[in-house]
Structure 1
Amino acid sequence: MQFFKKYSLCAAVGACLCGSACAQTVADGVNTICSSPVEFQSGAYKIAGNLYLSKGFDASKKYPAIVVSHPWGGVKEQTAGLYAQRLAQKGFVTFAYDAAYYGQSEGQPRDTEDPAQRVQDIRSAVGYLASRSEVRPDAIGTLGICAGGGYTLHEAQTDPRVKAVASVAAYDVGGAFRNGITGSPVTEEQYQQTLKAAAEEWSRVAAGDKPTVFKLLPDKKDWTKDTNAFTKEAYSYYRETRGASPNAKNLCTLASFGLHAGYYPLEHMDRISPRPVLLIGGEKAESLVFSQQAYDKAAEPKELMVVPGATHFALYDKEEYVGPIVEKLTKFYGSALNVKD
C-alpha cells in the first residue's frame, strides 16, 4: 500500500511500541504469586497477568492494590511490570497484565489496539483484584503508562471502585490519530488518507480477507533523514535490549486506526472527582500535551507533575526518573487508599 510509504503512522500514533529481546524488570525482594500467569476474564477473552507482593507480605492481612496498564503494543514484562514491582516493594499488592490481543492474553486478530477492549480490560482487572482475599476491595487504585495512561484515566471516569488514578507519560490514541503529537502534527490529508485505508480494511476483513498487519516501528535500515527523535527513542526502548520483550511483536492491525479516530478519553476528566488524579509527564516529552489536557479538564483534587529534563520514554525505565516517580506514586496512593505507616 503506497499510503504507508508516504505517511509514517509511527510519528502520529506510535508512542507505545515493542520489540524482540527480554526486558529486565525483576525487582529485588518482590514475589510473583504463581509460577504461571494469573488469569481472569475480560469480556470474551482470558487475560494473563502477574500479581506482585512485597517481601513482608502477611497472608492474614488485606492490602491496598494497584492495577498497572501497559503502553500500546507493550506487554506486562516491560515498563508496566517495572512500575508494578517497584510499587509492590512499597507495600501494595500490584497487578500488571497483558491487554487482550497481546502477549499471553487471548484475542484475535493479534496486535489489535481496540480502545473499548483496553478499557474493559482495566475494568475487569479491578474486579479481579477486588475478588482476591489479600486485597482490600475499598482500596484499589489504577496506574497507566503511555496509552495505558489514557485508557486508565478514561476507565476511572465511570468506575467508582477506583479510589485513585494516576498516569505516567499519558498518551491519547484518539487525539494522536486526529492531530498528531508535539513535533509531528497530522495534516488533514494524512488523517483522511489513514481513515480511508482503515475503512477499506474493515470491508476486506468482513469479506473474509486476512487482516493487514504492519510494523509500528520501522527497522533501522528503513530510517530516513525525516525519521524523528521520538521514533528513534521508541526504537531504543522497544526494539533493543533496553526494554524489548519476546512477547511484544512490534505489530499493529490496520483496522485498529479506524477505532482510534472517534476515541476521546479525556473529555470527562471532571467525572473522576472527588477521587484524586495524578498526572506525570516529562518536560521534554512530545506527549506532555495529553497530561496537560487531562489536567485542564479534571476537577479537584488533581496534580500535574512535570519531570524536568525527561523525555517520553525516559519515564519508562530510567532510574533517575523512575525512582522519584515511584516515591511520588507511593505517597499519592498511600494517602488516597488510606495506607497507615
Structure 2
Amino acid sequence: MTIQRTNVRFPSNGMALAGHVYLPENASGGRLPAIVVGHPTTGVKEQTSAIYAARLAEAGFLALTFDAAYQGDSEGLPRGLENPVQRADDFRNAVTYLSTRADVDSERIGVMGVCGSGAYAPYAAQTDHRIKAVAGVSGTDATCFFRDGNPEAWRAQVAASGAARTEEAQGRPVRMVPVLPESVDESTPAAVAEFFDYYRTPRAQHPNSVGAYALRSADLLDQFDAFADVAKIAPRPLLMIAGTEAVTRGFSEKAIADIGESGELALIEGATHVDLYDRDPYVAQAVEKLTAFFTAHLRG
C-alpha cells in the first residue's frame, strides 16, 4: 500500500516540535486510530521510527513521528539536551496534537518508541490515560544504560554537569558527550560496533543525528527511572518487543514482570538490539506483533 507523508509542527512546553504524519493512501476521511512513534536516544525521526511509522500506516493507522525537543529539526536550547521529563512530555504533547486533528479518533491513540523512546513512551503513559495502548521496541532506560555501561565515567559526568551549566550561562560552547567512537576495529565490543554500523555508515546515518548529548543531560538523567512505576499503566496494555540476542533485553523482561497481566513480552529470535531498528525479517516480525496489538486495543 502507498502511504502519504506530510510535515507537521506542534507545541511542546513552548517549543515547536518537527514531525511527520504518515497516512494510508486510501484513508476515507473518517477518524482513524493513531500511533505516536518515538526515536532512539541521539536518533532522529528519519531513521528507525520512520520505518515503523510507514509500516503501521500501511496497516491502516495514522502514525506520527517527531524529533524530540532540543534535537533534530525541533526547537530547544541547548542543542542535544537529553531531558527525560521533557522527552516524556513530548509524547504527551504529541497525543494532544493528535487529539485535535479531525482525522484522528481521540479515543483510539497509542504510543510506541524504539530504544530510549521505548522507555519514555511507557513513562508518559503511566499518568496520561488518553493513551490506550503502549509498546516499546528494544526499549531501554537511557540512564541505566549509560550508568551501568561505565559507572565511573557516568559519575564524572554527573559531577561535571553543574559546571557545564555555568559555562553555558557564560556563553561558552555546550560541552557534548559522544556516545560512539570515531572508528571501530576487531577489539570493539559487539554492542558498540552494531550501534556504529547503524549511525555512522550509509546504512542509516543522518546529518541531524549527531551521536552525542549535552553533558548537562547527565544530572537530569541520573534522577530518572523510566520503569519504576510501570505498573501504573495497568490495566491498559503494554507490549515490549526485544531481540533474544539484545544486550538490552532485560529492560523489556523486567517491565513486563512488573506490570503483570496487562503486559506482553514478544521476543524476536536471533535479533540484536539494533537489528530491530531496520533489518528484516526482524522488523517485519515486530511490525506484525505491533499491528495485532494496536488493532486489538485501539478498537472503535
**Bin for the TM-score computed over the shorter chain:** over 0.9
Deviation, structure 1 residue 258: 1.7
Instruction: Confirm whether residue 51 of structure 1 aligns to residue 21 of structure 2.
Output: yes
Deviation, structure 1 residue 148: 0.7
Give distance in 2, aligned partners of 1:251 and 1:265. 21
- Any conservation in 2 of the 1:49–1:98 contact (CA below 8 Å)? yes
Instruction: Confirm whether residue 250 of structure 1 aligns to residue 220 of structure 2.
Output: no
Give distance in 1, aligned partners of 2:47 and 2:109. 22
Name the structure, 1 or 2, with higher relative contact order (CA <8 Å, separation 6+): 1
For the residue of structure 1 that corresponds to 2:272, the secondary structure is coil
Instruction: Confirm whether residue 31 of structure 1 aligns to residue 4 of structure 2.
Output: yes
- Of the candidates 103, 106, 123, which is equivalent to residue 92 of structure 2? 123
Give distance in 1, aligned partners of 2:295 and 2:31. 14
- Any conservation in 2 of the 1:269–1:299 contact (CA below 8 Å)? no
Partner in structure 2 of residue 6 of structure 1: none
For the residue of structure 1 that corresponds to 2:282, the secondary structure is helix
Q: Deviations over 1:79-107 (max 9, x none)?
A: 00110010000000100011111111101
Matched residue type, 1:48: A
Deviation, structure 1 residue 152: 0.3
Give distance in 1, aligned partners of 2:24 and 2:113. 20
Give distance in 1, aligned partners of 2:219 and 2:188. 24
Give distance in 2, aligned partners of 1:268 and 1:299. 12
Give distance in 2, aligned partners of 1:190 and 1:98. 28
Q: Deviations over 1:145-189 (max 9, x none)?
A: 000111001000000000000000001012223323xxxxx34x3
TM-score by length of 1: 0.84
- Of the candidates 156, 162, 165, which is equivalent to residue 125 of structure 2? 156
Give distance in 2, aligned partners of 1:54 and 1:192. 47
Instruction: Confirm whether residue 211 of structure 1 aligns to residue 184 of structure 2.
Output: no
- Of the candidates 67, 80, 100, which is equivalent to residue 36 of structure 2? 67
Identity %: 39
- Of the candidates 240, 246, 261, which is equivalent to residue 279 of structure 1? 240
Instruction: Confirm whether residue 40 of structure 1 aligns to residue 3 of structure 2.
Output: no
Give distance in 1, aligned partners of 2:155 and 2:110. 38
Deviation, structure 1 residue 282: 0.8
Deviation, structure 1 residue 257: 1.5
Deviation, structure 1 residue 207: 4.1
Matched residue type, 2:89: Q
Identify if the C-alpha distance between structure 1 residues 45 and 153 changes in structure 2 by more than 3 Å, giving closer, same or farther: same
Partner in structure 2 of residue 20 of structure 1: none
Q: Which contiguous aligned blocks of 4+ residues in structure 1 show a shift greater than 6 angstroms?
A: none
Give distance in 2, aligned partners of 1:111 and 1:314. 25
Matched residue type, 1:245: H
Q: Deviations over 1:53-95 (max 9, x none)?
A: 1121111x11100000000111111000110010000000100
Instruction: Confirm whether residue 192 of structure 1 aligns to residue 150 of structure 2.
Output: no
Q: Deviations over 1:274-333 (max 9, x none)?
A: 100000011111111111121121132111111111100000001101111111111100
Give distance in 2, aligned partners of 1:260 and 1:228. 24
Partner in structure 1 of residue 200 of structure 2: 239
TM-score by length of 2: 0.96
Deviation, structure 1 residue 252: 1.6
Partner in structure 1 of residue 111 of structure 2: 142
Deviation, structure 1 residue 245: 1.4
Q: Point out where structure 1 has 5 or more consecutive residues left out of the alignment.
A: 1-27, 181-185
- Of the candidates 274, 289, 294, which is equivalent to residue 328 of structure 1? 289
For the residue of structure 2 that corresponds to 1:107, the secondary structure is coil
Give distance in 1, aligned partners of 2:199 and 2:178. 12
Deviation, structure 1 residue 196: 1.5
For the residue of structure 2 that corresponds to 1:56, the secondary structure is coil
- Any conservation in 2 of the 1:173–1:263 contact (CA below 8 Å)? no
Instruction: Confirm whether residue 312 of structure 1 aligns to residue 282 of structure 2.
Output: no
